[in-house]
Amino acid sequence: MIKLKVDDSACSVSLDTMNKIGTAITEAINGIPSNRLVTQLLVDGIRYNAEKQAEILEKSIDSSHEIEIKTADKAIWAATGYDISLSCIERIQRSIIKTAELFRESDKLNGNRLFIQCIEGLERFIEAITITKAAIGLDFTKELLDGRSLSQTESDLNIILKSVFSFQEQEDYQGLADKIEYELLTNLSEWGRALNQLRARQNSNA
């Protein structure tokens, strides 16, 4: 039987009239107060990945799964989201430069250790900017930096990350060093300038 929780509390949604996990999740999300934002959807303790786990939504609620929905305060993220996201970028940038240096020095062991920290930092940044976007109601297609939309910057980041993982799988560490230093770092710099611009606009409107 499916176990459905919202912020560590059992969800009050009645599962008696539902037959699919996806329907139960949708109903639970619809019941979340408007001042809260969904930040994570966990399936059996692992963050839900729509590309790899979409089929789980079609499964019967009689299947054995634990679904947990995590939320956050919308007003707090609207007020602090830019600062949190920028802080994530600053930490990642320092690690990326050092990671590239290690790979170029053929120090693969320490390079890979730091690379894992970079990826974890990127995950935190992506989560932060996604929550901030929802909290403030940003439309990335309309937010421009040097004539390019933030939706393009977001798309570029996804493409770069796929390429980064490909270089790592091939153990092409020189190529990986170039990719993260010249493309990933550049992309994060674009994010930084855009977020500083948005933060300044927010502060001027306060």
- 113-128 pLDDT, tens digit per residue, is 999 999 999 999 999 9
pLDDT tens, position by position, 15-28 = 666 678 888 888 88
pTM listed for this prediction: 0.85
- DSSP state, residue 150: H
Which CATH number, 1.10.10, 3.10.20, 2.60.40, 3.40.50, labels domain 3-73? 3.10.20
Q: What is the pLDDT of residue 27?
A: 85
pLDDT bin (cut points 50, 70, 90) of residue 149 is very high
Q: How many helices (H) and strands (E) does the chain have?
A: 7, 7
Q: How far apart are CA 101 and CA 122, in angstroms?
A: 19
Query: Which residues does residue 5 pair with via DSSP β-bridges, in sequence order?
Result: 10, 68
Q: Which two tokens stand for residue 45?
A: 């303790």
